[in-house]
Structure 1
């Protein structure tokens, strides 16, 4: 592989923003037919480097070489014209348009007199969707698709051009296991055709499964490139964060308090049926299952985002009726949503205002907010959660993913909830920040909070949970304790084949 000429090279790339050196003389090369993984903590410079490659940012110093020739990429269209395709982590789709119009946006096939050739457009896109095993067609409106299927539309864009380099930024964050298999098959097909793949992910198991080489950034600097076959998770982690992570699990044998939440026979149409469980004060109950198992829908029903069709909810022993998020908040329930950027934050707003948003009415007197009270709240949870930001005025959209997640958690902790629900707490977050979030969840449980954690990652659910509720097709299959759960049992349970009587 080393004898091959790179399809793409970056040499001594420097990119600065006001007060920040985002990239400090970074060099990287991508070989034809390889998967080159790029790893680093949130804020390490990965996204900035990829935006330089994608023509979104222009470097202050350094050179970009495509097939050995120096190139200036002023726009994403110029990058695409050079065969560089960027599959973004954050979806960049027009939800009101069809799948076909999104995939060929700006490049719709034309007939005479400039008319769109709709027949060719839909036919070409249906062929691409067939290669991806998608269960929707070219004429489907993107806004009607699930997040996972919208991600597949983003991926389909890469198959419309003769790409020399395809950049995948956290491509599996919203995909089911079956869709991941299809994606990896597509990547193998691209490799076989000599396409260079840049693969950004925080999921170590994916990195070692599909990558040939792995490069690491830390604090905007290049830290080295390793062959995937010659390294391991511990070495990569130390290279990424400059230290080794403690893998010890906190002692979960503490005695729990009273029952904070009890759910009896809760159902929500066809989404989930007859769900019953309890959460004690000082306890973390994990919900685990495949995408579509009903985990998030249970949380959204408890929080009043969905109307239950039957069942009862009890808080601290008293039956409550929750018909809206406002009702849930009034009863002391807080929800950290799965989509922190779309549902948890106002990205253009500063850190302080994001954190105090749910209680703005309580902080308003005669139509004016009390900035001193807002700043006291922000300072308390910034210090408690160790949020890294220069000051409260920093725009939340400029923070790393881990610090954004801490802002969302701080926002809901400031409401002093009786029950804290955290959905996918570390999605899109680097390994170092994951460890911090996991420790935070356990610390909050130690302070007496009743916590529900929903996660698609088995190591995470095993790490933080006192009990684990396994769901399959909208039903609870089994509830495990931390002392009797195993990975095999969990896999069987979420696949619908677990038989408790045979567990021994």
Structure 2
């Protein structure tokens, strides 16, 4: 029997939708797309998943355990990673705010990469491997480079651990961010329209790497407005519309037109 890693029960959205509930089950080790049109509903759902907004009537169930509001935030800090179109490293995992100097976008939409630092330094920032010399602990740069090289072998693009981030394309930066989730030991990745500005061929490279992450035991919840992307990458799809899940289907068992009709509310 397949195991659900995450469940949402009785999530209520905006005031005019209080008579409707959003419910969702996400199967462990799957890629589950959330197809949506309304950005505000998507944002509220994401805020609930990362513990930014308490929803008193809703339940978040992680591996069979109902989480208290404080535990939801802890789950996000420990097991869940969020990636959007502006990400390079996750600002929510940066309590001192030292990543936030590169202001591309407003509010949560800021590029947070260290452009002058290397791929290895970005991936392991704050978690660098250490070596002991006499009474001192120093960063073990060689070990960090070796670990990064192992991660980079998973990619379809050729990158070096010592390349600076400013030299990377938007796709390469996002792939490095996905590698960071592996190095952090994340169990669930929330991907919010991370490839929205990439051409189709570049998107497919990103999607192929998502499949590799799934093979590593990571569960991915992928937020998108594009039906084509659902069929390109997903095992399951749920349609978020009017404050409800209009249906969760196996992607292999649904036709394009049927999914389009669900999204349109027919």
Specify if TM > 0.5.
Answer: yes
| Mapping for residues 442-481 of structure 1, pairs under 5 Å | none
Structure 2 equivalent of residue 4 of structure 1: 2
Structure 2 equivalent of residue 425 of structure 1: none
Structure 2 equivalent of residue 161 of structure 1: 184
d(CA) in 2 for partners of 1:25, 1:116: 50
Unaligned runs of 5+ in 1: 244-504
d(CA) in 1 for partners of 2:39, 2:138: 45
Unaligned runs of 5+ in 2: 88-110
User: Residues 122-155 of structure 1, C-alpha deviation per residue, up to 9 Å, x if partnerless?
Assistant: 2212221221133332233323322222222222
User: Residues 302-325 of structure 1, C-alpha deviation per residue, up to 9 Å, x if partnerless?
Assistant: xxxxxxxxxxxxxxxxxxxxxxxx
Q: CA deviation at 1:44?
A: 5.5
The 3-state SS of whatever aligns with 2:196 is coil
Q: CA deviation at 1:221?
A: 2.6
Q: Which is higher, the Rg of structure 1 or of structure 2?
A: 1
- 1:94 pairs with one of 102, 110, 113: 113
CA RMSD of aligned residues (A): 2.9
Q: CA deviation at 1:103?
A: 2.1
Q: Contact 1:208–1:228 at 8 Å: present in 2 too?
A: yes
Q: Contact 2:241–2:263 at 8 Å: present in 1 too?
A: yes
Q: Contact 1:9–1:64 at 8 Å: present in 2 too?
A: yes
User: Residues 210-239 of structure 1, C-alpha deviation per residue, up to 9 Å, x if partnerless?
Assistant: 322210111333222122233233332232
Structure 2 equivalent of residue 345 of structure 1: none
Structure 2 equivalent of residue 106 of structure 1: 126
- After TM superposition, the score normalised by the length of structure 1 is 0.42
- 1:52 pairs with one of 40, 48, 53: 48
**Relative to 1, partners in 2 of residues 1:61 and 1:104: Cα closer, same or farther, differing over 3 Å?**
farther
Q: Contact 2:36–2:223 at 8 Å: present in 1 too?
A: no
**Relative to 1, partners in 2 of residues 1:104 and 1:22: Cα closer, same or farther, differing over 3 Å?**
farther
Q: Contact 1:23–1:220 at 8 Å: present in 2 too?
A: no
**Relative to 1, partners in 2 of residues 1:65 and 1:104: Cα closer, same or farther, differing over 3 Å?**
farther
- After TM superposition, the score normalised by the length of structure 2 is 0.74
Q: CA deviation at 1:52?
A: 2.5
Structure 2 residue 245 is matched with structure 1 residue 222: yes
**Relative to 1, partners in 2 of residues 1:141 and 1:23: Cα closer, same or farther, differing over 3 Å?**
farther
Q: Contact 2:32–2:222 at 8 Å: present in 1 too?
A: yes
d(CA) in 2 for partners of 1:228, 1:44: 25
The 3-state SS of whatever aligns with 2:173 is helix
The 3-state SS of whatever aligns with 2:153 is helix
Q: Contact 1:93–1:102 at 8 Å: present in 2 too?
A: no
Q: Contact 2:191–2:220 at 8 Å: present in 1 too?
A: yes
d(CA) in 1 for partners of 2:258, 2:113: 41
Q: CA deviation at 1:66?
A: 1.6
Q: CA deviation at 1:175?
A: 4.0
Q: How many residues align?
A: 236
d(CA) in 1 for partners of 2:159, 2:215: 27
User: Residues 221-270 of structure 1, C-alpha deviation per residue, up to 9 Å, x if partnerless?
Assistant: 32221222332333322322335xxxxxxxxxxxxxxxxxxxxxxxxxxx
Q: CA deviation at 1:179?
A: 4.1
d(CA) in 2 for partners of 1:225, 1:61: 22
Q: Contact 2:12–2:243 at 8 Å: present in 1 too?
A: no
